[in-house]
């Protein structure tokens, strides 16, 4: 498998090939995701909730994001590694470029910015600096307070029209793909058909060119699973049973045995 590039993702859309994207935040997980042939790894700021225990993504810092990007990059994956720029780290074009460059130095192949029409100057500046950008429209976790909670987007004509305007402008600005989060499926279909770059859905129905899931959700490790998540393996149960078995073995003197001793 050759290294995935932004151009390859565009070509996959042209060939009507679906794109699978997963998050990963550490070396062993990234290694397994890459070995499974997943073409894109997103080091998402979702790590704030599923790894660091924050209530939302807003407290996540650049230092925390870079720490996890470095861990994933040490795998030297064939997957395209995308770093999620955290809240308030791209408020101006200059700040966006400076922080995007830090992501690249940490090992990311590209960065993701949330927003559409409102972040075009930042998007253009980062791309002009030679750094590929993944867009993100619909439900924006970094704007959850302004949106009044985690609500499905695209329910009104005005909202749907703004989403269409956002993805079109992002494509014109040069992003290589756009994440579409928690958008009405029929609206997502129109967005996907309107642009030549891939749409990557999460809670946006089946009409996107690809899908992304938070790996802790799809492995059943998150205590509250979103409706859009499909659990492919319940690792929570396996981990809990393994920990309980280990505790019992230690307490009853069954571990370690001679073969685990020197």
Tokens of 146: 């302004």
Look at residue 19 and give its three-state secondary structure: strand
Structural domain contains residue 1: no
CB 85 within 8 A of CB 97: no
Do 185 and 143 have their domain in common?
A: yes
Distance CA 126, CA 85 (A): 12
Do 257 and 205 have their domain in common?
A: no
The pLDDT of residue 226 is 85
CB 216 within 8 A of CB 190: no
Is residue 16 over pLDDT 70?
yes
Check 55, 114, 181, 193 and give the catalytic one: 181
pTM of the model: 0.96
CA angle 81, 1, 26 (to 5 degrees): 35
Do 31 and 82 have their domain in common?
A: yes
Q: What percent of the chain stands above pLDDT 90?
A: 94
Q: Which neighbouring-strand residues pair with 21?
A: 40, 212
Do 96 and 61 have their domain in common?
A: yes
Q: What percent of the chain stands above pLDDT 70?
A: 98
Structural domain contains residue 51: yes
pLDDT tens across 69-100, in order?
999 999 999 999 999 999 999 999 999 999 99
CB 127 within 8 A of CB 113: no
Do 214 and 253 have their domain in common?
A: no
Structural domain contains residue 45: yes
Range of the domain at 252: 235-262
Average pLDDT for 157-180: 98
Do 13 and 32 have their domain in common?
A: yes
Residue whose C-alpha is closest to residue 181's, from 145, 135, 217: 135
The pLDDT of residue 125 is 98
Do 211 and 252 have their domain in common?
A: no
Count of structural domains, the chain: 2
Our measurement of the distance from residue 119's CA atom to the centroid of its chain's CA atoms, rounded to an integer in Å, reads 18
Do 239 and 179 have their domain in common?
A: no
**Active-site residue flag, 181:** yes
pLDDT tens across 104-121, in order?
999 999 999 999 999 999
Tokens of 211: 């899908």
Structural domain contains residue 188: yes
Place of tokens 């040069």: 174
Q: Which neighbouring-strand residues pair with 179?
A: 136, 200
Do 131 and 225 have their domain in common?
A: yes
| CATH assignment of the domain containing 26 | 3.20.20.60
Residue whose C-alpha is closest to residue 111's, from 92, 136, 91: 136
Structural domain contains residue 143: yes
Do 12 and 106 have their domain in common?
A: yes
Distance CA 108, CA 102 (A): 9
Contacts of 20 (CB under 8 A, 6+ apart): 38, 39, 40, 210, 211
Structural domain contains residue 61: yes
Structural domain contains residue 158: yes
Stated length of the chain? 262
Do 75 and 178 have their domain in common?
A: yes
Task: Share the mean pLDDT of the chain.
Answer: 96
Do 160 and 259 have their domain in common?
A: no
Please classify residue 260 by burial: count the beta carbons closer than 10 Å to its beta carbon, then call 0-12 exposed, 13-18 middle and 19+ buried. exposed
CB 233 within 8 A of CB 22: no
The pLDDT of residue 148 is 66
């Amino acid at each position: 498998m050759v290294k995935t590039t932004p151009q390859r993702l565009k070509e996959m859309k042209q060939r009507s090939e679906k794109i699978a994207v997963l998050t990963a935040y550490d070396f062993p997980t990234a290694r397994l995701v890459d070995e499974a042939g997943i073409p894109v790894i997103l080091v998402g700021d979702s790590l704030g909730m599923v790894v660091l225990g924050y209530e939302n993504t807003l407290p996540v810092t650049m230092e925390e994001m870079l720490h996890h990007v470095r861990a994933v990059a040490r795998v030297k994956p064939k997957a395209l590694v995308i770093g999620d720029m955290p809240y308030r780290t791209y408020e101006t074009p200059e700040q966006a470029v400076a922080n995007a460059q830090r992501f690249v130095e940490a090992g990311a192949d590209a960065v993701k910015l949330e927003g559409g029409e409102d972040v075009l100057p930042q998007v253009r500046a980062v791309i002009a600096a030679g750094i590929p950008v993944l867009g993100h429209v619909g439900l924006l976790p970094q704007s959850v307070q302004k949106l009044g909670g985690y609500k499905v987007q695209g329910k009104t004509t005005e909202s749907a029209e703004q989403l269409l305007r956002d993805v079109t402008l992002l494509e014109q600005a040069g992003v290589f793909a756009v994440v579409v989060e928690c958008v009405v499926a029929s609206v997502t279909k129109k967005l996907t058909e309107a642009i030549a770059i891939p749409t990557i859905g999460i809670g946006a129905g089946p009409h996107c060119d690809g899908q992304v899931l938070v790996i802790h959700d799809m492995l059943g490790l998150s205590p509250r699973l979103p409706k859009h998540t499909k659990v492919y393996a319940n690792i929570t149960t396996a981990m809990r049973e393994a920990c309980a078995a280990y505790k019992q073995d230690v307490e009853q003197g069954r571990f370690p045995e001679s073969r685990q001793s020197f």
